[in-house]
Amino acid sequence: MFPAGDRNGLEVVVTLKAFRAASGETRVALRDVGFVLKPGEVCALLGPSGCGKTTLLRIVAGLDHDFEGRVRLPSPHGLGMVFQEPRLLPWRTVAQNLRLAGASPETGLDEIVAALGLADHLDHFPGELSLGLARRVAIARAFAVRPDLLLLDEPFVSLDAALAMRLRAELMALVETHRATTLIVTHDVEEAISLADRIIVLSGAPGRIIGDRPIETPRVALTPASAAVTRSELARLIAQGGA
């Protein structure tokens, strides 16, 4: 039913993911979602909120085993992840947070710290950072472990637009240089277009794949006109799926 993936890519097949709602009834979160990412491919999972995007990401991360299907991670599978919240250890400094996750000068920690402008904040505790800075530390942590698979869950949610744009540009540069197989969950079309090589669109709950299309690379060559076409097309898909 689903194609077999490359040895070093990511293969995800979720035939059914259900959960028990607070009301006691069983709800289906995902149905027949399957895709294969080539090594180094950057893919955005786009869909309305509540469509099971984050659930899918948690399944891929190995945080949720209660589903029907299979996940094959790139081997060897070093994993880096940016959660919706920074999830830093408040009692450890920024530098310790990065090191404890497995980052070191050998894995390129210093370059990433410099690229994200964190050099002056290494000795600070997370409680002393602004939300934007804490988000940067979380991004640095995910990249600095030199992952084979990178999972990003709405990395810019709840940031103001200007900050989100700046951080997105920095993230684009990091994605470009690191080229890990990457899965980005987002409900923002702009974000998906600017970061991904490929966009998979999920319908509203229960999530199914209703669109899967490549984005021209290099992304900077995307003309305003073609970007606009892509944008309207994706918007139409989301509107259909959500209805």
Partner 1 sequence: MLFRLASLLVLLLIWQLGSSFAGPRMLPAPLAVLTVIGAEARSGALFLNLGITLLRVMASFTLAMALGTALGILMGRNKAVDRLCDPWLIILLNLPALVIIVLAYIWIGLNETAAIGAVALNKLPNTAATLREGARALDASLDEMARVFAMPFGVRVRHILLPQLAPYLAAATRSGLSLVWKIVLVVELLGRSNGVGFEIGVAFQLFDVTRLLAYALPFVGLMLAIETFIVQPIERHVSRWRPQRA
Pick 90 or 105: Cβ nearer partner 1:
90
Phi, psi angle pair for 83, to nearest 5°: -85, 170
Phi, psi angle pair for 46, to nearest 5°: -115, 140
Nearest-approach distance from CB 125 to partner 1, in angstroms: 5
Pick 20 or 65: Cβ nearer partner 1:
65
Pick 35 or 83: Cβ nearer partner 1:
83
Nearest-approach distance from CB 80 to partner 1, in angstroms: 8
| Sites of contact with partner 1 (CB under 8 A) | 61-63, 78-81, 83, 85, 87, 89-92, 96, 100-102, 125, 127-128, 141, 145, 151
Cα–Cα distance measured from residue 132 to residue 164, given in angstroms and rounded to the nearest whole number: 8
Nearest by Cα to 40 from 91, 6, 3, 4: 6
Pick 178 or 208: Cβ nearer partner 1:
178
Nearest-approach distance from CB 202 to partner 1, in angstroms: 22
Q: Do 153 and 82 meet the contact criterion of CB atoms below 8 Å apart?
A: yes
Pick 11 or 153: Cβ nearer partner 1:
153
Q: Do 61 and 79 meet the contact criterion of CB atoms below 8 Å apart?
A: yes
Nearest-approach distance from CB 90 to partner 1, in angstroms: 6
Nearest-approach distance from CB 79 to partner 1, in angstroms: 6
Tell me the two tokens of residue 30.
């995902």
What would the DSSP string read from start to end of 135-157?
HHHHHHHHHHT--SEEEEESTTT
Tell me the two tokens of residue 121.
């904040």
Q: What is the arrangement of strands in the sheet containing 198-202, beginning at the earlier edge strand?
A: 79-82, 149-153, 181-186, 42-46, 198-202, 209-214
